Chain A
Amino acid sequence: MVKGLTISDIHQGLRKKEFSAQELAQSYFKKINSLDEKLGAFLEITQNEALSQAKRVDELISQGKKVSLMTGIPMAIKDNILVKDVKCTAASKILEEYLAPYEATSVKKLRGEGAVFLGKTNLDEFGMGASTENSAFKKTRNPHDPSRVPGGSSGGSAVAVAADESCCALGSDTGGSVRQPAAFCGVVGLKPTYGAVSRYGLIAFASSLDQIGPIAKNVEDCEIVFNAIKGKDPLDSTSVESKFSISHFQFSNPKIGVPKEYFGEGIEPGVEKIIKETIKKVEKEGAKIEEISLPHTKYALACYYIIATSEASANLARYDGIKYGLSKDDEQKSDLLDVYLKTREEGFGPEVKRRIMLGTYTLSAGYYEAYYLRAQKVRTLIKQDFEKAFQKVDVIFTPVSPFAAFKIGEKVKDPLAMYLSDVFTASVNLAGLPALSLPCGKVRKLPVGLQIIGRPFRESEIFQVGKFVEKIV
C-alpha cells in the first residue's frame, strides 16, 4: 500500500480516515523488514518510538484537531543528524555507541508538525564519500541495480525513499551528498541555500559548506519538507530568515542558463544526451535557453577539496576519546597523547583519516597560503562566476553527476576518481547556492539527474521550474 505514496496522498488518506497513522507506519516497517536486509538503507530502526508518535497523530485526528501536511508523514533521517535519545553514529566507529542527548533543530521542527521517524539511514562516514561505501557498518545498494552504489554520502536516505521504505527523508549536502544519491536513485533532492536551514544538531563535516536538505518522491514533497525545516535558528548563528516569499514570483517564460563547461569531456555520453534532450523539451515549452560560461568551473573541485578537508580536520579534532564516543586507553602507563592517537587510529576509517591528513597539511605552517588561502580566493572567483550568470538568467541547468550509478567497489581504491563524482555539484556549495536534483531519464535502466541551480534564497523559484520540468520529462 505504500508504493509511490506522496505527502499529499498520505495527508488526504489520513484526513479521510482511509488509514490511520499507526497502520501507515506499520506498512512502512513491513516494507523495511522485507527489503532492507538486501538494500541496507537503515542503520537503525526506531519502531517503538515511531509507533508511539503515530499513535499521538491518530489521537489528534480523532479529536478533530487541525493537522499540518507533515503530520503522520513517515520519514527517515540520515545518521549524522541528531534525533534525541536515538543513537547517532555518522557511520563511524568513533561514534558507534553515541546516544544523542539533544535534537537537531530540523528534526525538532518536523517532530513539532507530527512527522513520524522510522529510523536512521546509512552514509559515508561523517558524510565523506560519494557511494556510501565509506560507512564503517554496512553497504547500501542501489534499488535500480543492487550491484551498484546508491551514491553518497546520503545513500541510505535516497534508497529509503526510492524503495518506498520511507515517504521522504533528510540528508545533508557538503559537496553533492543530497543531490548525487538522489540522482543515482531516481528521486528528488534539494541542497538549500547556505543558511536557509539550521545546522544545529548536524554532525559537522565542513561548516562553511554543510546544509541539511530533503530527499523526496517529487518536487512538491521536497518543497513541503523544506518549508517545514527552513528558517533562522538562534542555535545556528549562520542561519538566516529567507526574505523571499513564495507568492511573489510567477514563472511564465523562465530564462535558463546552460554552462558550456559542464558538457563534453569527462561526461558519460548517455548522461549528456538525456540532459540535452531535457533542455530541448523545456525549450519547446517556451523557456528561453541561453548558453553561459562559468569560467572557473575547472578549479571548483580542487578548491572544494582543499576547503572541505581543511574545515574537516578542525571539526573532527573534537573526537579525542575524552568527552564522548570511543576511547582507547589500554595501558596504565599511557599518557593523554596516547589516548588521542590510539582513539583516532582505531575510531576513524581510511577516507576520514585521509581527509584529516589533507586538511591538516593544507592548514599547516608553510602551506596555508599556498593551499587554503589560495583556495578561498578561488572560491571568490567561482562565486562571482555565478553572480554574473544570474544577471542574465533565472536558473542554471547542468547534469548532477558526470555518470550514472557505478559498480560497488569500482572507485573505492582510487580516492581521486571518487572525488570526481562531485565535479558538477561542489561549486554550488562553494557559492552557497540552492540546487535541486531531479530525475529526467534513464541510461541502461539507471536514473539520470538534472541539476537546477538558483539564486540565493530563491528555492521557491527552483521548485516552480522543477515542477515544470517534472511534468514534461
Chain B
Amino acid sequence: MISKKEVEHVAKLARLGLTWKEIEKMQKELTLILDYFDLLKEVDVSQVQPTSHSILLENVDREDIVKKESLETVNKILDGAPAREKGHVRVKGILK
C-alpha cells in the first residue's frame, strides 16, 4: 500500500490539487493499479532494448526562420488566454 504522504508528494509533482477525500480514494486505487503493474516484473527484459515509438523516428529539422502568422490567428490564440495585457499573456508574479 502506498502511503498518503506519497500520494500527496506525487500530487504536488503533478501540480494537481486534491481534496482529503480524493487523497484517500487515490491511495486505495493507485495501490490496486500499481499492484497490477507488478505483473511486468516476471518478464525477463535483461537483453531487451526499450521501444519509445513503434516506428523508426528520425530527427526532423528545418531552417530557423520565423514564420509569420496572420494577426487574426495571433489574436485568436491570445483570446484563449484567461488574462492578457498589451498583446501579452498575463501571469502571476514569481519573484518576491
Among B30, B37, B92, residue most surrounded by chain A Cβ atoms (within 10 Å): B37
Interface pair B79/A99, CB less than 8 Å apart: yes
Complex interface bits, B70-96 against A, C-beta within 8 A gives 1, otherwise 0:
000100110111110000010111100
Does any Cβ of A come within 8 Å of B65's Cβ?
Answer: no
**Would A383 and B33 count as touching, CB distance under 8 A?**
no
| Chain B contact residues: helix, strand, loop or mixed | loop
Residues B48 and A320 in contact, CB atoms below 8 Å apart: no
On chain A, the residues within 8 Å of B2 by CB distance are 361
Q: Which of B41, B49, B54, B94 contacts A430 (CB 8 A)?
A: B54
By the criterion CB–CB under 8 Å, are B30 and A345 in contact? no
B residues in contact with A344, CB < 8 Å: 14-17
Is the Cβ of A357 less than 8 Å from the Cβ of B14?
yes
Which of A298, A337, A361 is B10 in contact with, Cβ under 8 Å? A361
A378 and B10 form a contact (CB under 8 A): no
B54 in contact with A376 (CB, 8 Å): no
Is B66 located at the chain interface by the 8 A CB criterion?
Answer: no
Query: CA separation between A128 and B48, bound complex, in Å?
Result: 29
Q: Does A412 contact B (CB under 8 A)?
A: no
Interface 0/1 of A342-361, CB less than 8 Å to B: 10111010000110111011
Q: Is B54 a contact partner of A208 (Cβ separation < 8 A)?
A: yes
Q: B55 touching A324 by the CB < 8 A rule?
A: no
- Would you call A101 an interface residue if the criterion is a C-beta within 8 Å of the partner chain's C-beta atoms? yes
**Does the CB pair A379–B18 fall under 8 Å?**
no
**Shortest Cβ distance from A97 into B: residue:** B80
Residues 19-50 of B at the A interface (beta carbon under 8 Å):
19, 22, 26, 29-30, 32-34, 36-37, 39-41, 43, 45, 48-50
Give the distance to chain B from A241, nearest Cβ to Cβ, in Å.
12
Task: Establish whether residues B48 and A323, one from each chain, have CB atoms under 8 Å apart when the complex forms.
Answer: no
Interface residue tally of chain B, by bracket?
A: 35 or more
A317–B16 alpha-carbon span in the complex (Å): 10
- Stretch in A37-45, A300-308, A446-454 touching the partner: A300-308
- Among A104-112, A274-282, A367-375, A395-403, the stretch that binds chain B is A367-375
Taking residues whose C-beta sits less than 8 angstroms from the other chain, chain A's interface range is 35 or more
Chain B residue, CB-CB nearest to A420: B36
- A309-359 contacts to B (CB < 8 Å): 313, 317, 320-327, 329, 334-337, 339-342, 344-346, 348, 353-354, 356-358
- What A residues does B37 contact at CB under 8 A? 302, 305-306, 362, 371
Measured in the bound complex, the distance between the Cα atoms of B19 and A234 in whole Å is: 43
A340 to chain B, nearest CB (A): 4
Q: State whether A194 touches B53 (Cβ < 8 A).
A: yes
Partner of A238, one of B19, B26, B55, B81: B55
> Can you list 27 A-B pairs, Cβ within 8 angstroms, ordered by A?
A99-B79, A302-B36, A302-B37, A302-B39, A305-B33, A305-B37, A322-B81, A322-B89, A324-B81, A327-B82, A336-B92, A339-B92, A341-B15, A341-B16, A345-B16, A353-B18, A356-B16, A358-B33, A360-B10, A361-B2, A361-B30, A376-B51, A377-B43, A380-B49, A415-B32, A415-B33, A416-B32
